[in-house]
Amino acid sequence: MVKVVICGASGRMGQTLGRMVHESDDLELVGGINLKPSSFFGAEIVEAKDADALLKRTKADVVIDFTIASAVVGNVQVAARNNCALIIGTTGISPAQRAEMEKAILGHVPAVITTNFSIGVAIFQQLVRESARLLKDYDIELIEAHHRNKKDAPSGTAKTLLQIIEEEAGTREKLYGREGMTERKNEIGVHVIRGGDIVGDHKVMYSKNFETIELSHRAYDRSVFASGALRAARWVVGKKPGIYDMNDVLGLKK
Ligand SMILES: NC(=O)C1=CN([C@@H]2O[C@H](COP(=O)(O)OP(=O)(O)OC[C@H]3O[C@@H](n4cnc5c(N)ncnc54)[C@H](OP(=O)(O)O)[C@@H]3O)[C@@H](O)[C@H]2O)C=CC1
Ligand SMILES: O=C(O)C1=N[C@H](C(=O)O)C[C@H](O)C1
């Protein structure tokens, strides 16, 4: 059995993951970490200050983090100190926070980090890479939509898609929404929608000469992210220290 601790245990993703680990035959939910102590699916949730003791007591194999950017560095440091493999889904991480995370991980523990654990999104990103390579001279727009409680914008997935597009089609100015008299140049327009309980939509549009090509992905339920994260958790335990992504987990070419 792979012993799992979930950071952000009381959150939307934490609850979905907790339920799925609890229902699985090969994963054991040994605890959670959140701002306030509580419990979920028969396991204890402790405050962040008690995380070290929890990881020692439970001998956790893997720590899964779906929290908030300001919390993730501390969670990664305590997990790495306890030799736990890591699954990191938290988005909105700054370059400085990313550097701190890398310092804690590299040479110490294996970690899978990705802005979107959906297997469909891993395939979608490959399609976006191919289309951006083929459609370099088209106007490119990116649209994402999420629930009203999402804190970071644009989404982590949207930022990853921008990076993929620019790797293939060249660096461009990014224009976040438009208002007033605007003249389209060679920018990538980025548009963020927040409302209701939208789970997570991403669309890339390429337009030129009386035609538009659209590629889109829509998640209908958080279980798509959770099942990808748990697939990564099963895969990462026992790997060499380093940072991996879903292409590594799924054996897809980069
Ligand atoms: N990579 C992927 O596939 C996906 C990534 N995400 C990302 O995961 C993150 C979480 O999303 P979601 O579950 O919707 O958010 P929620 O706000 O529902 O959950 C986050 C949880 O983390 C808790 N938390 C805050 N600070 C700490 C801390 N220091 N230690 C432990 N727990 C803490 C929060 O507590 P409290 O509520 O008390 O503040 C909350 O319960 C976001 O960054 C989101 O973008 C989401 C879905 C998929
Ligand atoms: O906060 C969310 O909900 C999601 N966050 C991730 C992101 O920022 O890309 C992944 C998914 O779209 C859901």
The residue extents of the domains of the chain are 2-113+222-250, 119-219
CB 44 within 8 A of CB 32: yes
How does DSSP classify residue 48? Answer: G
Tokens for 129, please give them: 């890479």
pLDDT for position 37: 96
Of these residues, 3, 59, 146, 240, which one is catalytic? 146
**Test site for ligand 2: of 66, 88, 90, 116, most ligand atoms within 8 A of the Cβ:** 116
**Domain 119-219 is in which class?**
alpha beta
Does domain 2-113+222-250 correspond to CATH entry 3.90.580.10?
Answer: no
**Would you say the CB of residue 91 lies under 6 angstroms from ligand 1?**
yes
- Dist CA 29 CA 43 (whole Å): 7
Measured in Å, residue 13 CA sits from the centre of ligand 1 at 7
Do residues 145 and 198 make contact, with C-beta atoms less than 8 angstroms apart? yes
Q: Tell which residue, 155, 152, 159, has the closest CA to residue 144.
A: 155
> How much is the pLDDT for 253?
78
SS3 192: strand
- Kindly give the residue spans of alpha helices, DSSP state H, lying in the chain: 12-23, 51-58, 69-81, 95-105, 119-134, 156-169, 223-236, 246-250
Pairing of strands 62-65, 2-7: parallel
Q: Which residues contact 26 (CB under 8 A, 6 or more apart)?
A: 1, 2, 234
pLDDT, position 30: 98
125: number of CA atoms within 13 Å, CB side? 26
> Which one-letter amino acid corresponds to residue 8?
G
What does DSSP assign to residue 176? E
Q: What is the pTM of this model?
A: 0.98
Distance 92 CA to ligand 1 centre (A): 11
Place of tokens 């620019």: 166
Note down pLDDT in tens along the chain; length 254 residues: 999 999 999 999 999 999 999 999 999 999 999 999 999 999 999 999 999 999 999 999 999 999 999 999 999 999 999 999 999 999 999 999 999 999 999 999 999 999 999 999 999 999 999 999 999 999 999 999 999 999 999 999 999 999 999 999 999 999 999 999 999 999 999 999 999 999 999 999 999 999 999 999 999 999 999 999 999 999 999 999 999 999 999 999 77
Maximum CA extent, the chain:
63
Please report which ligand is nearest the Cα atom of 54: 1
Looking at residue 6, its amino acid is I
pLDDT at 201: 98
ipTM of the assembly?
0.99
Q: What tokens appear for 18 in the block?
A: 């907790």
Q: What CA dihedral angle connects 159, 162, 163 and 164, to 10 degrees? A: 120
